[in-house]
Amino acid sequence: MSRFAMLFPGQGAQSVGMLSALAERYPVVGETYAEASEALGYDMGALIDQGPSERLDQTEFTQPALVAAGVAAWRVWQSRGGPAPTLLAGHSLGEYTALVAADALDFGDALRLTQMRGRAMQSAVGPGEGAMSAIIGLDDDAVKAACSEAEAEHADAQLVVSAANFNAPLQVVVAGHADAVATAGRIAKAKGAKLVKPLAVSVPSHCALMKPAAERLQSHLLEIPLRQPKLTVLHNVDAQPREEVDGIRKALVRQLDHSVLWADTIRAMRTANCELFVECGPGKVLSGLNKRIDKSAQSLPLSDIESLRQALDATRVEDE
């Protein structure tokens, strides 16, 4: 069996009806949603299956819903005899799902924690105050320079903008105050960016504006029991694992107002001889990014019956 990594998606992967095909065939999906409902006090299955999308897309609901969906897909994988991955990682929010899969964090605690995280992020920045944009076709250093120049233009107003997600080569997301993000986009275009795409988000994640949310998260995490992970999880902040509970807490807090080093994470997994990446949860966003990061790596989603079969076959486990 080849070494492989399991990846868990973050915000943006959600959609009404996600994982419906797996839910129809595998009862563990509904059981997982019922467990989430009990932990949070509302019907998670109904929210995921029926929406409305306006509610599912609200950060405080999106985050635990994606944790629930990711854990449901992981449990389907386990129920089919899918082998344990060599390495785990999650994109931003997905890191919490990865920690559940690694048995470092209880599912119920992850749900409540991400609900609180979503609320803290939403309250950290006023409506319309923050923004995020994807900058396509410009290298990392040029994006950083664009952000620095934009901050200099807005120095009197003390507006901030920085690189939030290093998702893939020539694909970086910036975040900060809305005016500074717009200025960084204009400067990036002047530097040769092919596309600057504003993102439809209500919260500018992974930048200095999230510091109040990070402080709230830090306080809350002290009350959450964590364990040494049974599987190795690479963290967003530096593409490195943590074995100690205190290190995990610090990495989760730091992640909220620092950049997500996703491309570095995938490269680290490739260096560790992971030949296959299985995206465990709704959507195919991470599989798409992986093709940009390393064309030689094989990436497979795990979100419906056929993709589950392909992933099991690729790890040399036969499905029914």
Question: From first to last of its 320 residues, what are the pLDDT tens digits of the chain?
Answer: 579 999 999 999 999 999 999 999 999 999 999 999 999 999 999 999 999 999 999 999 999 999 999 999 999 999 999 999 999 999 999 999 999 999 999 999 999 999 999 999 999 999 999 999 999 999 999 999 999 999 999 999 999 999 999 999 999 999 999 999 999 999 999 999 999 999 988 899 999 999 999 999 999 999 999 999 999 999 999 999 999 999 999 999 999 999 999 999 999 999 999 999 999 999 999 999 999 999 999 999 999 999 999 999 999 754 44
Please, is 19 exposed, middle or buried when counting C-beta atoms within 10 Å of its C-beta (0-12, 13-18, 19+)?
A: buried
Determine whether 303 is an active site residue.
no
Interatomic CA distance for residues 298 and 25, integer angstroms: 26
Interatomic CA distance for residues 141 and 147, integer angstroms: 10
Q: Indicate which residue of 91, 162, 205, 206 is catalytic.
A: 206
- Two structure tokens written together for 200: 């439809």
Determine whether 92 is an active site residue.
yes
- Residue 233's identity, in one-letter code, is V
Q: Is 316 helix (H, G, I), strand (E, B) or coil?
A: coil
Q: Indicate which residue of 92, 133, 259, 287 is catalytic.
A: 92
Whole-model pTM: value is 0.96
Interatomic CA distance for residues 110 and 96, integer angstroms: 6
Interatomic CA distance for residues 107 and 36, integer angstroms: 8
Task: Give the per-residue pLDDT at 320.
Answer: 46
Please, is 249 exposed, middle or buried when counting C-beta atoms within 10 Å of its C-beta (0-12, 13-18, 19+)?
A: middle
Q: Which residues have a Cβ under 8 Å from the Cβ of 319 and sit 6 or more positions away?
A: 80, 308, 309, 312, 313
